[in-house]
Every structure is written in C-alpha cells, then in structure tokens.
Amino acid sequence: HTNKKVTVVFVLGGPGSGKGTQCANIVEHYGYTHLSAGDLLRAEIKSGSENGTMIQNMIKEGKIVPSEVTIKLLQRAIEENGNDKFLIDGFPRNEENRAAFESVTGIEPEFVLFFDCSEEEMERRLLSRNQGREDDNIETIRKRFKVYMESSLPVIEYYNAKGKVRKMDAARPIEEVFEAVKSVFTPPCD
Ligand code: UP5
Ligand code: MG
C-alpha cells in the first residue's frame, strides 16, 4: 500500500470530454496535484523505457495499457509528490484497473468527477486539438470511443451505485463547466 494518507478524486469522462482542461482549473483554485494517466504513459514512451514501444502501440490502437504499468506510474507520482491531494485523470478505465489500484495502493477515491459529453462534440474537439497526439485521428478516435463505452462507463456505473459520482454536463463552454465543477469543490456556506 501507498505509504501516505492522501485524498484522491478520479476525473473520468470520454476522450475529449475536457478532463485535462478542467483539471488545470481545479489545480489553480483548489491546490490539487494533477496526475493524468495518459500524460504519465506518454512521458514513459518519451523516456525510452523498456515498456515504451508496447505503450505506444496500445495508445495508437486506443487500447488500455496493462494496469501494473499505469498503477506503478501513478503510485510513484503520488509518493514522490509533497502534496496530499490528487486529481487522477483518465484512470481507472476498466473494472480491472479499478480493483487493482484499490488493492495495490489501498486508496479509495473521495468522489468521481464525471464529464458527460456527446460523441459528436468530443470528436469535434479531438479533431481540432492539433497537439500532435498520435491517437487524435478518426480511426483511433472511433476505437477510443468503443473502449470507453464498453470498458470505462461500467467503472463510472460502479461508483454511481456507491453515490460517489458528481456528473457534469461537459458539452457547455469551458467556463460554464468550471462553474459546475466549483460547486463540487467549494463547500456550501450557510
Ligand atoms: N475543450 C475542452 N473542454 C472544452 C469545452 N468545454 N468546450 C470546447 N472545447 C473544449 O480537451 C480536448 C480538447 O477539447 C482540447 O483541445 C480542449 O481545449 C478542448 P481535453 O481537456 O484535453 O480533454 P480530455 O478529456 O483530457 O481528452 P483526452 O484526449 O486527454 O482524453 P482520453 O481519455 O482519450 O486520453 P488519455 O490521455 O486519458 O488517454 C490516452 C490513451 O492512453 C488511452 O486511449 C489509452 O490507450 C491510454 N491509457 C491507458 O491505457 N490507461 C490509462 O489509465 C490512461 C490512458
Ligand atoms: Mg487528457
């Protein structure tokens, strides 16, 4: 288990739903550290690690990288960081990710932020992002949507049944989505 008492919020939603964008806003206002599982995996490819080629191939196909790899990167990032509040963005992506993270780290999320957005809108955003991501092409985007529907939505359903999901309408402009996000992070004053 992770040698540290931490607060974790999972930030979930489809490809292009705005997870990374809203995490940046949350970091600025609420002092969390942002850990994007996808960013950690892309950094691992760049670092020339022995798993790099395997990770690159899986991302290109929109497939979910084996949980040992992702969990090791997340756990290391949590332990190396001085903060005790983390946004984990884009993980867990399937039931096995979820169960393995819980048993390996002993961490359960405080709650789950869920960015709900139509595929049409997510596709538009991904195709106009232009950041050179190897998975932002229409073939890979379709595969990412399929994996999201089949494997990732059930994880959100699992947490929803536990009353842990805070669902946001993510199809609105960035500022409006953040207003809704704020109401989740700011305790109501009386
Ligand atoms: N944008 C954002 N919000 C907007 C709004 N409200 N209105 C209009 N435009 C908006 O946003 C995407 C684009 O939309 C940006 O240009 C933004 O300006 C604009 P972003 O905030 O980047 O969305 P995000 O949800 O973060 O999209 P991302 O593409 O990162 O989501 P994915 O879940 O697809 O990507 P991730 O990096 O998490 O994973 C990539 C791959 O890594 C996976 O497919 C998988 O192969 C692998 N992976 C694993 O195997 N395991 C993991 O645990 C994690 C990833
Ligand atoms: Mg992202």
| pLDDT score at 3 | 84
pLDDT in tens, 87-134: 999 999 999 999 999 999 999 999 999 999 999 999 999 999 999 999
Q: Residue 150 and residue 154: Cα distance in Å, rounded?
A: 7
Ligand nearest 41 Cα, by number? 1
Q: CB neighbours (10 Å) of residue 64?
A: 19
| pLDDT score at 51 | 97
Indicate the SS3 state at residue 143: helix
pLDDT in tens, 144-189: 999 999 999 999 999 999 999 999 999 999 999 999 999 999 977 7
* 98 marked among binding-site residues: no
For residue 38 and ligand 1, the question of a CB distance below 6 A is answered with yes
| pLDDT score at 81 | 97
- Tell which residue, 21, 78, 76, 2, has the closest CA to residue 44: 76
pLDDT in tens, 55-66: 999 999 999 999
Structure tokens at 185: 């992070």
| pLDDT score at 187 | 77
- Testing ligand 1's pocket by substitution, the residue of 19, 45, 60 carrying the most ligand atoms inside 8 A of its CB is 19
| pLDDT score at 189 | 76
* pTM of the predicted model over 0.90: yes
For residues 186 and 70, the model is more confident at 70
For residue 144 and ligand 1, the question of a CB distance below 6 A is answered with yes
Q: What is the mean pLDDT of residues 31-47?
A: 98
Continuous segment of H or E residues that includes residue 112? strand 111-116
2 confidence band (pLDDT: 50, 70, 90): confident
| pLDDT score at 78 | 98
Asked whether 140 and 62 are in contact (CB, 8 A), the reply is yes
Q: Residue 38 and residue 46: Cα distance in Å, rounded?
A: 12
